[in-house]
Every structure is written in structure tokens, then in C-alpha cells.
Amino acid sequence: MDYDTIELRETDGIAVLTLNRPDVLNALSTQMRAEILHAVREAEGSARVLVMTGAGRAFCSGQDLGDGRSVAQVNLERTLRDEYEPMLMAIHDCAIPIIAAVNGAAAGAGANLALACDVVIATESAVFLQAFTRIGLIPDAGGTYWLPRQMGMAKAMGAALFAEPVSARQASDWGMIWEAVPDDAFEERWMARARHLATGPGIAYRNVKRAIRETYANGLEAQLALEARLQGEAGRSRDFAEGVLAFLEKRPARFEGR
């Protein structure tokens, strides 16, 4: 499929989805949301890992407030339900690992798009901003879901109420993201992480995602039962047999990955 607002390229099992509206700091338009949804599903069917990043100096500035409609014409509830929810659920449910490589500012829905991914790696110069109360709104695009889980209630409440920038270093220290990387090492770092995942055990990665995502909905007994089912599946895979053999032979494992 041809895309207008994003780019999608794949090499050696690594799909890179680039938000490509740098003139508006990669603001999320209706078309971009639809293209992200399609691209995630396309990558899931062919790649072993997906990286999402931004063109230019920002990752994503959030909702495009100039997306061809006046503020009075925008039905926010319908937009969130019909456009954001399918996109975010596709990211959440994607069977392959997704890395958000945050190359610059991630604001509003752009910040929460990054947090919806499995791992966030950011440049040290990047900032995360829950800008919603600045225009009289609440965090959306999953913000009220991800923030308390990743930052804790106190930090999440402060970030939402004060709408102040959170540096990448703060975000890393608070557990909001995986790591903050010096700007000059950023691309090398996220690519190394992507290569690691692209050559790893795909069934195990898929089951890790499911087990960790479902833990908040389960009590201990239910989570133990889920672990047993998923571990049983992983234990029957060729990747597990290869992993054990490689360990015994003292060599790197060669996982099939899917």
C-alpha cells in the first residue's frame, strides 16, 4: 500500500514506520491515524519487530487541530472512538514487539501513541507533554490508562494536571519509558534493540506481551494459570528446542522468530 502521511519500510525483519508530516511536527490527522492502523497490521504480517519514529525534529505533536475542520465541527468522542481506538488497539494487540523511537517532542496524543508501544527509547533531548489541560481537555488516546500504570498515580496526576514537560531522563527515571539515549547514539541504539528483537523467539515475545498486558485484570490464581498456558505453548515451539540446544552447545541460538 502507498502511504501519504507516513513511511513504512522493512529490512531484515525490521519494519520502520515513520510519521512523516514534519511541517506540522507529525500531528495526527484523520488520514495519518488510518494509515498507522493499516501499517501496523501490514508490518505484523511480515516483520518480526516494528519501530515507530518521527520525521524531522519531533516525534508527534498530537492531534492536528487544523485538520480541515474548525474546533466547533470536531466531535471528540466520535473521533476517539472511530479513529483513535482502532489504531491504539491495533498497536496494543500486535503480535510482534513495537518500539517507539522518540526522536523529539511527544505531546498530547503523540505522547500517548508512544506509550502504547511495548518499549519506548527516547533521545535525551526529547520531552513528553500531556498538554490537554492547556486547551481545556483531559488526557486521551489512552493517556489515562498508560500514565498511572507506567508512572504511578502521583506522577500521572501531576503530569495531567500541570501539563508540564517531562524530560526523557525524568521519564526514564520514573519508569515511564525504557531508556533515554544521548542524541548522537540514538539511531544506533534503537536499531540495535530492534535487531535483538528481530532475531529473537517470536512466540515467546508474543506471549510475554500477552501475559504482562493481562496481569492488571487478573488475580494471582488467574495469572498463574495464564502463565502455565502460555509457557506450555512456548515450550512446544521450535524456538525453545533451539534455545536449549544452543545453550548446551555453547553457541548463539538461531530462532525462527514466528
Q: Are β-strands 14-19 and 6-11 bridged in parallel, bridged antiparallel, or unpaired?
A: antiparallel
User: What distance separates the 2 farthest-apart alpha carbons in the chain?
Assistant: 66
Domain end residue (candidates: 159, 178, 198): 198
Output the domain CATH number for residue 208: 1.10.12.10
257 inside domain: no
Determine the Cα angle at 160 with ends 155 and 166, to 5°: 60
Task: Give dist(CA 156, CA 148) in Å, integer.
Answer: 5
Residues 133 and 209 in one domain: no
Q: What is the DSSP string of 119-135?
A: EEEEETT-EEE--GGGG
Residues 93 and 213 in one domain: no
255 inside domain: no
69 inside domain: yes
Which domain range does residue 55 map to? 6-198
Count the domains in the chain. 2
Q: What is the spatial order of strands in the sheet that 98-102 belongs to?
A: 6-11, 14-19, 49-54, 98-102, 119-123, 179-181
Mean pLDDT by 10 residues, the chain (258 residues): 94 97 96 98 96 97 77 80 97 96 97 97 98 94 95 96 96 96 97 96 94 93 95 93 93 83
For 7, the 3-state DSSP assignment is: strand
Q: What is the pLDDT of residue 73?
A: 59
Question: What 8-state DSSP symbol labels residue 63?
Answer: B
Whether 210 and 241 have beta carbons less than 8 Å apart is answered as: no
Nearest to 16 by CA among 4, 8, 28, 6: 8
Residues 214 and 244 in one domain: yes
Task: Give dist(CA 1, CA 90) in Å, integer.
Answer: 17
Residues 159 and 233 in one domain: no
Phi/psi for 5 (5° steps) reads -105, -10
Residues 182 and 208 in one domain: no
For residue 147, the Cα-to-chain-centroid distance in whole angstroms is 13
